[in-house]
Amino acid sequence: MNFNLCRKAPALRWLFSPKNLLKMKLIVILLIIGCLQVSAEGYSQKITLNEKNATFNNLFGSIKKQSGYTFFYNNKLIKQEGRISVSIKDGSIEDALNLIFKNRPFSYAIMNKMVVIKKKTPGLIEFINISSFINIKGKVVDKEGNPLPGASILVKGSGKGTSSGPSGEFAIDAKAGDVLVVKFLGYVSKEVSVTAATSTLNIVLEAELQDLSEVVVTALGVKRSEKALGYAVQKVAGKELQTVKGVDLGTSLTGRVAGLVIKNSTEFNARPAIELRGESALLVIDGVPYENMTLRDVPTDDIESMDLLKGSTASSLYGSRAKGGVLMITTKKGAASNGFSVDVNSNTMFQLGYLAIPEVQSSYGRGQNGQIDNDYVWGPRLNAGNTARDWNPETKQFEEGRPLVSVGKDNLKNFMNTGIVTNNNVALAQSSENGSFRVGLNHIFQKGQFPNQKLNILNFTSGGEIKINDQFKVEGRFGISRGSTPQMWGSGYGDQGYLYQLIMWTGTEYDIRDYKDYWVVPDKTQNWMYTNWYDNPYLIANEKLNGETKNKLNASVTANYKFNSDFNLMLRLGYDNFNDRITKQNPRANIFSTRGGWDARGMYQAIDRTGLSTNNDLILTYNKKISKWSVSGLAGGTLFYYNKDNVIATTKGGLISPRYFSLKGSVEPVNIIYDTFSDARDNWAQQINSLYGRASIGWNDAVFFDATGRNDWNSSQPKASRSFFYPSLGSSIVVSELVKLPSMVDMFKLRGSWTLFKNAFDPFAINKYYGTTTAAWNTLNAASYPSKLIAEGLLPSTQRTWELGAAGYLFGRRLHFDVAYFDKYYYNRQVNPVIPGSSGFSTILVNTLETYNRKGLEITLDGPIIRNKDFEWNAIVNWSNQHRYYNELDPIYSPDNLWVRKGERLDTYTSSYWLTDPNGNVIYNNGSPVESDYSKKYGYGEPDFSFGFINNFRYKNWNLGINIDGRIGGLMYNYMYDKMWDTGTNPESDNQYRYDQVVNGLNNYVGKGVKVISGEAKYDKYGNITSDTRQYAANDVQVGYQDFAQTFRGGDMGIQNETFVKLREVSLGYNIPANLAKKLGAKTASFTVTGQNLLLLTNFKFSDPDEDNEDLNSPSSRMVGFNFRIGF
């Protein structure tokens, strides 16, 4: 893969040697630990001095840096004491001062972070009179009079400060003429002057009104004003996600951002699929684009905010790693206000019913053509007094004369458990003007709805920052996560999961609860009525185990040095790694469902996955304001390195002992493959060296222009095409600053941007590699030559994007809106068309001439609908759509059909169809419907639009949150509903015709439609009728109902509209009054009833369409519980 070609430079070769990569990893970890230790030690006020011949001023300055205490003294008389040598380690401030003033004519007094030094002999030295300080008591409240606990109150220009208590009360000492600075997150800061008459203060803070001047985190972690950006950005506050907490943060993001589509799965341990503008998004945490991290690896309570940078222009400074945009997470690094805090946030939810669950017919048992059998569910009538030779689960044998009764209509529900999700977080934090730290422990436990499904995820995180001086600041983050589950098998049709066994292929003539004892003879014979294809679900849950343990580590250190008010240099080091073990095992037994590698002779499989990434940035930024002009820019570089290595090893020929689950227990030599999923893509390394820059200019705080450029050198690419350049242009105009607009318009902005984006080649697409098999023939190994060809002179896939948008505030800032329209043009795309087998190959990789555009519209409306002293209603509406349209076609490789045309959508949904006459009647032949040899367009697969409606209500101390979202339009194949017609379990198949066939022996079903009595129809290559001489008569041919139903099924080819609207989250909470919380020994406390996935409105049958795919999806569960939060 030409990896070394990018590392020929001696410096890079030395920097990225394995030994130095390990050193970098250790340095990152040690820097973080050191940063946090420095921070923590400062707050414990332990003093360490080792000074020789030092001035008193220097000693006082050193103590101030370590403790935050401010010194007041007569400088002239202190200088007369000359110099002093002092040595003390980890002493208290009193110990240090006693040592300094030992045998000297000075005394001191400490009060509220102040040290006042005076001469022991009165009158010989002027000292500060303590009585000149005024003890001020007060309260910090909002406009409605609600207390603001944790507000910071600082004496301006000094290190003195305090924070408000649970009822908003505070006390602080200050002098007449001092200015108190009062701050609280989400509110406008206020300055209050102190006079000699000041003794009490009632300080009222006003809530901040979000505007386009809000600072957002943009690419590379650089903070910028939103109104200066030429692309769309949307922010989500971390606190909005920290009440209803499930397993995955992505679920709580559903509907909260226009253009962000979350496809939530109902399967155990499955992560939601996240798409931003129809493509994947890069996850960036505290400025570091980790390669191996997911949203599940970030505890919800750690998140301060999320900034979503939409589209390629917003993400162009990240290069090819960011296609659809960036999910930028900023984590907490300290307490919300000055001081020490402990916060506990616990959420527990229980399964309470289902939103979507399949139903089955319960009138007929397993078998075919009305007779009991070992396959299908077209068997005999149940509850009709019939008997048959059948299995007895108590005696564990077949017996004659067993009654055929329906006892298992609820087999699926009876097999399932009550699911539980708990998400608990404990965080310790400290903040002051010189730094902060935060340590958190998060535990998630999920008990799945099927037996033996248990998931444990443990996250330990720490972060902090320290201000060394006015110029130098260091911050860091460190996180470790571990997730494990003993069993994650049991989903899907192809893997013969639980619904395959219980819904699709078995009847209701048995009660699944009678089969909990799943062994007849342990490790030999299962207690089950089937002798092929199907397994006892309890055996699957407890013996066919597919476990997983995932370990991850991530760390970052960021150092900022501010040369002056204009220039800042940032060095950021980021590192993450993963180490996973996935196992599969089953004992020797008569196992019949063998898809997935299960073996009746016994099997054990171990998959080891390891990998790491480093992302190191050095960035110089510049900001300058000159009269009405502002100039800013950045220049920097990134070294990104990534590798992963996976090995899969499986026993061969069974196990030497029924339960010897080890590779050593293999009967034959172990089969080892250095990849997973039959694909060597999981074993590779890559390095990308990058240089980039941005130049920005603004005028009058109203007109802004940006230009950026990034160049990547990618080690996994051919030498001739290793360099990739990504330019972008953007502009923003705040019209309301330039033109007088109607009074209803408070602020109005127009924006636009353009970028060119390239995708690096998939290294395995442009290199030929052999597939290998160990011990293919006895002890001989085998290798297979690749079946693809690679064209010469391949170009990287390229996309050009332009975007236009508008944003503003209306009606006294009561309504905020943001509208964005984008057009992304894809060309030089790499495709693998099929070629004739006579070539000796199956496909060829080429640059197609076929191009297409992705066009989308996004709209956001938000604001306070109602706001008064006691009641508030804040709402957000997000609406978006995006579709792809053919632009140009490739004369050789583009398909030749009616829906691959310029201007047509790429997501056209096509399938075969039933032939009909001109009046739409289905045509029959010999009593069976006739399926066309061609395909037709049914509609489109993607939704017309998606939306989210986020509501937050407050009445005094009560809070109510209601989140509704959905996707409207789009077609999807309903595998479950359609396949149940074939197997015989679909409840719509339980009708008079089936009864007549099974009970009365009549094949009397006549399909509604017509038959051809003469003539013929001719078609062109697209399936259009060119001539038609057919004559029709009503169909009158009788057939057996089973044959008809298995052919015609539901008549819709299984294609259904996947429109849905979901009540995603509801929370009803009460904030315990501060005075009551104080009595309980707490600072803040709240209790909330929570719910997730509460209501589903859809016409899609038997399954939740949220996942955007149907493969015997597990039932969609409703979760209800409670949240408890307390802060100290």
Interval 123-174: pLDDT, tens: 433 344 445 678 888 888 877 677 787 788 888 866 577 878 767 788 888 8
Beta strands 70-72; 666-673: pairing state: unpaired
What HEC string does 687-727 produce? EEEEEEEEEEEEECCCEEEEEEEEEEEECCCCHHHCEEEEE
Q: How far apart are CA 16 and CA 1055, in angstroms?
A: 53
138 and 192 within one domain:
yes
DSSP state of 176: T
Confidence check: pLDDT of 12 > 60: no
What is residue 81's predicted lDDT score, i.e. its pLDDT?
77
pLDDT, average across residues 464-490: 93
Tell me the H-state helices in 1000-1066. Answer: 1041-1048
Residue 66 lies in a domain: yes
When comparing pLDDT for 974 and 34, which is higher? 974
What is residue 32's predicted lDDT score, i.e. its pLDDT?
42
- Residue 1097, H or E segment: strand 1084-1098
124 and 159 within one domain:
no
Residue 526, strand partner residues: 519
If DSSP codes are grouped into helix, strand and coil, which group holds residue 997? helix
pLDDT band at 682 (very low <50, low <70, confident <90, very high): low
What is residue 125's predicted lDDT score, i.e. its pLDDT?
37
- Residue 875, H or E segment: strand 871-888
178-212 in b/e burial notation, b at 16+ Cβ within 10 A? bebebbbeebeebebebeeebeebebebeeeeebb
pLDDT, average across residues 942-953: 97
In order, the DSSP letters of 362-401 are -SB-SBBTTB--SS-B--PBSSSS-EEEEEETTTTEEEEE
Q: How far apart are CA 553 and CA 45, in angstroms?
A: 31
Residue 124 lies in a domain: yes
Confidence check: pLDDT of 337 > 90: no
What is residue 124's predicted lDDT score, i.e. its pLDDT?
38
pLDDT band at 111 (very low <50, low <70, confident <90, very high): low
Residue 843 lies in a domain: no
| CA end-to-end distance (rounded Å), the chain | 55
pLDDT band at 474 (very low <50, low <70, confident <90, very high): very high
In order, the DSSP letters of 507-519 are -SSS-GGGGSS-E
124 and 176 within one domain:
no
Q: How far apart are CA 932 and CA 925, in angstroms?
A: 12
What is residue 190's predicted lDDT score, i.e. its pLDDT?
87
- Closest of 1033, 1088, 1093 to residue 1063, by C-alpha: 1093
What is residue 435's predicted lDDT score, i.e. its pLDDT?
86
The residue from 150, 177, 205 where one domain ends is 205
If DSSP codes are grouped into helix, strand and coil, which group holds residue 877? strand
Residue 906 lies in a domain: no
Q: How far apart are CA 399 and CA 318, in angstroms?
A: 69
pLDDT, average across residues 642-647: 90
Q: How far apart are CA 233 and CA 252, in angstroms?
A: 19
Residue 91 lies in a domain: yes
- Residue 1019, H or E segment: strand 1017-1019
Residue 609, strand partner residues: 580, 646
pLDDT, average across residues 1047-1066: 97
When comparing pLDDT for 45 and 360, which is higher? 360
What is residue 973's predicted lDDT score, i.e. its pLDDT?
97
How much is the mean pLDDT over the chain? 88
157 and 93 within one domain:
no
- Closest of 123, 121, 131, 47 to residue 91, by C-alpha: 47
What is residue 50's predicted lDDT score, i.e. its pLDDT?
85
118-141 in b/e burial notation, b at 16+ Cβ within 10 A? bbeeeeebebbeeeebbebebbbb
What is residue 685's predicted lDDT score, i.e. its pLDDT?
85
Residue 573, CA atoms < 13 Å, CB-side half-sphere: 17
The residue from 164, 184, 205 where one domain ends is 205
What is residue 83's predicted lDDT score, i.e. its pLDDT?
83
Count CB atoms within 10 A of the CB of residue 404: 22
Highest mean pLDDT among 99-103, 242-246, 668-672: 242-246
pLDDT band at 85 (very low <50, low <70, confident <90, very high): confident
- Residue 993, H or E segment: helix 992-999
What is residue 43's predicted lDDT score, i.e. its pLDDT?
36
pLDDT band at 680 (very low <50, low <70, confident <90, very high): very low
Taking only Cα atoms into account, the Rg of the chain, rounded to an integer number of angstroms, comes to 35
CATH number at residue 94: 3.55.50.30
The residue from 73, 93, 128 where one domain ends is 128
pLDDT band at 505 (very low <50, low <70, confident <90, very high): very high
Number of domains in the chain: 2
pLDDT, average across residues 841-868: 93
Contacts of 742 (CB under 8 A, 6+ apart): none
Interval 781-839: pLDDT, tens: 878 888 888 888 888 899 999 999 999 999 988 899 999 999 999 999 989 888 888 88
66 and 110 within one domain:
yes
pLDDT band at 208 (very low <50, low <70, confident <90, very high): low
Lowest mean pLDDT among 30-39, 160-169, 314-323, 374-383: 30-39
942-976 in b/e burial notation, b at 16+ Cβ within 10 A? bbebbbbbbbbbbeeeebbbbbbbbbbbbbbbbbb
Interval 410-469: pLDDT, tens: 999 999 999 999 999 999 999 887 889 999 999 999 999 999 999 999 999 999 999 888
pLDDT band at 339 (very low <50, low <70, confident <90, very high): confident
170 and 112 within one domain:
no
144 and 123 within one domain:
no
pLDDT, average across residues 559-582: 95
pLDDT, average across residues 1056-1065: 98
- Closest of 602, 570, 717 to residue 667, by C-alpha: 602
What is residue 102's predicted lDDT score, i.e. its pLDDT?
82
Q: How far apart are CA 604 and CA 671, in angstroms?
A: 11
CATH number at residue 159: 2.60.40.1120
DSSP state of 530: -
pLDDT, average across residues 52-75: 79
What is residue 113's predicted lDDT score, i.e. its pLDDT?
67
136 and 111 within one domain:
no
Confidence check: pLDDT of 603 > 90: yes
Residue 878 lies in a domain: no
Residue 275 lies in a domain: no
Instruction: Supply angle C-alpha 38, 303, 808, rounded to 5.
Output: 125
Q: Which domain holds residue 64?
A: 46-128
Residue 53 lies in a domain: yes
What pTM, to 2 d.p., does this model score?
0.82
